[in-house]
Structures are given as structure tokens and as C-alpha cells.
Amino acid sequence: MGFLKLITYTILIGILGYLFCIVFIGANSFLQYKHKVPKDAEYVIVLGAGLKKDKPTRALRYRIETAAKYAKENTSAKIIVSGGKGNDELISEAECMKGELIKLGIGEDRIIKEDLSTNTYENMKYSKKLINNANAKGIVVSNDYHLFRSLKLAKKQGLNVIGLPAKTPKVIIPTAYFRECLSILKAMYYKQI
């Protein structure tokens, strides 16, 4: 096989792989909206999504707004905001989410910070330690493309959860879907899901 053919096949396989990721994650994103979300969950885990210094990215803003809307409808649910501090962030994602939820009218006494995690696996692992009852009914809030893996990781930790999707900013879809596909493969490799 000539060098040019090898390059052509490599590019073709890359394009097909990318298209598969877009379709797979896109279909799973769509399906996240089909689940019935319980109105009486005892806790809500809101997953972090990066900050711009100390302000939420648009993806994180959608997660916060989705969680706040649910929290106003279910006033007894505790809200676990989960996310540590990245190298380029001034505060932890959990601290930012807590502040934003308070601005949206959620009582500070309902919000529990988990600010040690650096990835989705750790979000679930550390959040579980904050839940007193392993059988408690919970909800995970994340952008729709991220919920498939998030729920698998949560269930592997023994959490009884349903996903509540927040919309995904259109501008990040091409990269987010591909990165999420790779993250699913990585989680499967490490037997996290």
C-alpha cells in the first residue's frame, strides 16, 4: 500500500469515527429528554463545567439554571454542587455554582459544596459521600450530551439517580460530542462504567 493510500484511509477512518461520535452522542442527548424526572427527589447533583476566572461558562450557566428551576419546584431537595478548582480558575466550580444558585433564589441552607473533584468520575465518588441514604432518590443535572456517561458513572457508584438535562450551547457541540465519545471509551477502559 502506498503512502498516499495510507494517508487517505487514515483520514477516511478519522472522519467516519468522528461522524459515529456525533451520531451516538447526539442520539443519547436526544434520549435524555425522554426520561420522566421525579418531582420528589431528595437530592440534586449539579456537575461543574469550567469557569472563566470566577464566572460560569455558558454550558455551566445552563446547568445552574436547570437545577434552580427544579429546586424551586421541589423545595425539599438538597442541592450538591460538584466541581473543584481548575488551574485557570479563581474559585472552585462548586463555589461559583453555589453563588449563582443563591442569586437565583435558592436558599444557602439547601446547598452542599463538593469542591474536591476534578472529573466526572470524582464528581460522583465524592458526591456519594455527602448523601446519607444510599437508596435516596436523586437527580443529576448536566448538559444533555454529558448525561449518558454521568449516569453510568453514578450508577456504578451505587447512586439511585435520573438525569435532568440542561441544553448544550450549539457552539460547543462539535468538540463536546467528540470529546465525550473519547471520555466514554476511556471510562469503559478503566471499568468505571
Per-residue model confidence as pLDDT tens digits over 111-131: 999 999 999 999 999 999 999
Task: Average the pLDDT over 50-65 and give the result.
Answer: 96
Q: What CA–CA distance (Å, rounded) separates 25 from 19? A: 10
Q: What is the pLDDT of residue 18?
A: 87
How confident is the prediction for the chain on average, in pLDDT? Answer: 94
Domains of the chain, each with CATH number or no CATH: 3-189 (3.40.50.620)
Amino acid at 93: E
The predicted-structure confidence for 59-104, as pLDDT tens digits, reads as follows 999 999 999 999 999 999 999 999 999 999 999 999 999 999 999 9
pLDDT band at 22 (very low <50, low <70, confident <90, very high): confident
pLDDT band at 35 (very low <50, low <70, confident <90, very high): confident
Query: pTM of the full predicted structure?
Result: 0.93
Q: Report whether 165 contacts 147 (CB < 8 A).
A: yes
Residues in the chain: 193
In the chain, what percentage of residues exceed pLDDT 70? 99
Q: What is the pLDDT of residue 62?
A: 98
Q: Report whether 181 contacts 24 (CB < 8 A).
A: yes
Q: What CA–CA distance (Å, rounded) separates 129 from 51? A: 24
pLDDT band at 2 (very low <50, low <70, confident <90, very high): confident
**Is the pLDDT at 169 greater than 80, yes or no?**
yes
Cell numbers at residue 148, please? 449518558
End-to-end CA distance of the chain: 39
